[in-house]
Amino acid sequence: MKRILFCLVLFFLQAAILWAETKIDVFPPTPYDQATVYINLGFFWAGIIGLVILLRLKLKELERTQKMEQEEAEKEAPLLE
């Protein structure tokens, strides 16, 4: 019984959303404003890609320095003869 009631409520909620008369414009209507949105999106994604590249470079540098420290520690380790 609860499942049927839940389905009915969900159905009427979706129907109410579809029957709503007021449409809200999410995207700007003028070409100038649309170009501004696209330019801002381009800058945003270029920044994200730049940050990912910087993080990868930093991780490679950290791995290289850890490898160098490990090699130095192996050189200084006493040998059992």
Q: In whole angstroms, what is the distance from residue 16 CA to residue 36 CA?
A: 34
- pTM for the model stands at 0.57
Rg, C-alpha atoms of the chain: 30
The pLDDT value recorded for residue 44 is 98
Q: Note the pLDDT of residue 81.
A: 64
* Six token digits for residue 10: 């969900």
Give every CB contact of residue 24 below 8 A, 6+ residues apart in sequence. Answer: none
| pLDDT score of 13 | 79
- pLDDT recorded at residue 73: 77
Structure confidence by residue, pLDDT tens digits, 1-58: 778 888 878 877 777 777 767 777 888 889 999 999 999 999 999 999 999 999 999 9
The Cα 38–Cα 44 span in angstroms is 10
